Structure 1
Amino acid sequence: MKKALFIIVILAAVLGQVGIAYGETNTPTIHSGTGVVIDSSTGEVLFQKNKDEQAFPASLTKLMTAILLEDHVADGAWMTASKKATQQEASNFVFNMKIGEKMQKEEALRALLVISANDVAMMIAEHIGGDEAAFAAMMNTRAASIGMTHTHFVTPNGLHDPQHYTTTYDLALLAKEAMKYPAIMEAMGTEKTEVKTDQRSVVIKDRSLIFQNPIALGGKTGFTNQAGNTLIEYMKKDNKTVIAVVMKSSRGNEYQDVQTIGNYGLEHLDVQMMFQKGDSAGETTFYGENVQGVLGNSYVLTKRKDDGAVYTYSPIFTPWQSGQKTIIAGEVIGDYQIKKNGKLLSQIPIVSAKEVVHAEPSPINKEKSESSKSSSYWPFWVAAVIVLFALGIYLNFSRREKAASDQGAGA
Structure 2
Amino acid sequence: MAAPPERAGAARSARPLLAEAARSDSPELRSEAFLIVDQRSGEALLARNADRVAPIASITKLMTAMVILDSGQSLSEMLTVTEADRDRLRKSSSRLPIGSRLSREDLLRLALMSSENRAASALSRYYPGGLRAFAKAMNAKARQLGMAHSRFVEATGLSADNVSTARDLSVLLKAAADYPLIRRFSTDSAHTVALNRGAREFRNTNPLVRDPGWEIRVSKTGYIEEAGRCLVMQAWLRGRPVLVVLLDSFGSRTRTADARRLQKWLARRPWDAVVMAHKGAKG
Aligned-residue offset at 1:135: 1.1
**Alignment TM-score, normalising by the size of structure 2:** 0.80
Residue aligned with 2:188, SS: coil
Alignment of 1:236-315 (within 5 A): 236-251=236-251, 252-262=253-263, 264=265, 269=271, 304=275
| Aligned-partner Cα distance in 1 for 2:52–2:129 | 32
Aligned-residue offset at 1:172: 1.3
Per-residue CA deviation, residues 200-221 of structure 1 (Å, 9 max, x unaligned), is 5321112543236522415211
Assess if the C-alpha contact under 8 Å between 1:111 and 1:195 holds in 2.
no
Q: Whose Rg is larger?
A: 1
Aligned-residue offset at 1:259: 2.9
Structure 2: gaps of 5 or more residues:
1-11
**Alignment TM-score, normalising by the size of structure 1:** 0.57
Alignment of 1:4-403 (within 5 A): 16-20=15-19, 26-72=25-71, 73-87=73-87, 95-99=95-99, 101-161=100-160, 163-196=161-194, 200-211=198-209, 213=211, 214-217=213-216, 219-251=219-251, 252-262=253-263, 264=265, 269=271, 304=275
How has the CA–CA distance of structure 1 residues 144 and 261 changed in structure 2, closer, same or farther, with 3 Å as cutoff?
farther
Q: Provide the aligned C-alpha RMSD in A.
A: 3.0
| Aligned-partner Cα distance in 2 for 1:140–1:255 | 29
Percent identical among aligned pairs is 24
Aligned-residue offset at 1:80: 2.8
| Aligned-partner Cα distance in 1 for 2:28–2:194 | 43
* Structure 2 counterpart of 1:400: none
How has the CA–CA distance of structure 1 residues 262 and 66 changed in structure 2, closer, same or farther, with 3 Å as cutoff?
farther
| Aligned-partner Cα distance in 1 for 2:192–2:178 | 24
Assess if the C-alpha contact under 8 Å between 2:108 and 2:123 holds in 1.
no
Per-residue CA deviation, residues 352-399 of structure 1 (Å, 9 max, x unaligned), is xxxxxxxxxxxxxxxxxxxxxxxxxxxxxxxxxxxxxxxxxxxxxxxx
Residue aligned with 1:16, SS: coil
Aligned-residue offset at 1:28: 2.8
How has the CA–CA distance of structure 1 residues 20 and 123 changed in structure 2, closer, same or farther, with 3 Å as cutoff?
same
| Aligned-partner Cα distance in 1 for 2:107–2:270 | 38
| Aligned-partner Cα distance in 1 for 2:258–2:204 | 20
More strand by share: 1
Residue aligned with 1:46, SS: strand
How has the CA–CA distance of structure 1 residues 154 and 265 changed in structure 2, closer, same or farther, with 3 Å as cutoff?
farther
Aligned-residue offset at 1:32: 1.3
Aligned-residue offset at 1:170: 1.1
Assess if the C-alpha contact under 8 Å between 1:97 and 1:120 holds in 2.
no
Structure 1: gaps of 5 or more residues:
1-12, 271-302, 309-411
Assess if the C-alpha contact under 8 Å between 1:149 and 1:170 holds in 2.
yes
Assess if the C-alpha contact under 8 Å between 2:35 and 2:246 holds in 1.
yes
| Aligned-partner Cα distance in 2 for 1:147–1:120 | 27
Q: One-letter code of the match for 1:220?
A: K
Larger RCO (CA within 8 A; separation ≥ 6): 2
| Aligned-partner Cα distance in 2 for 1:258–1:307 | 18
Residue aligned with 2:235, SS: strand
Assess if the C-alpha contact under 8 Å between 1:110 and 1:195 holds in 2.
no
Residue aligned with 2:30, SS: coil
| Aligned-partner Cα distance in 2 for 1:307–1:228 | 27
| Aligned-partner Cα distance in 2 for 1:92–1:268 | 45
Residue aligned with 1:248, SS: strand
Residue aligned with 1:19, SS: coil
State the aligned residue count. 260
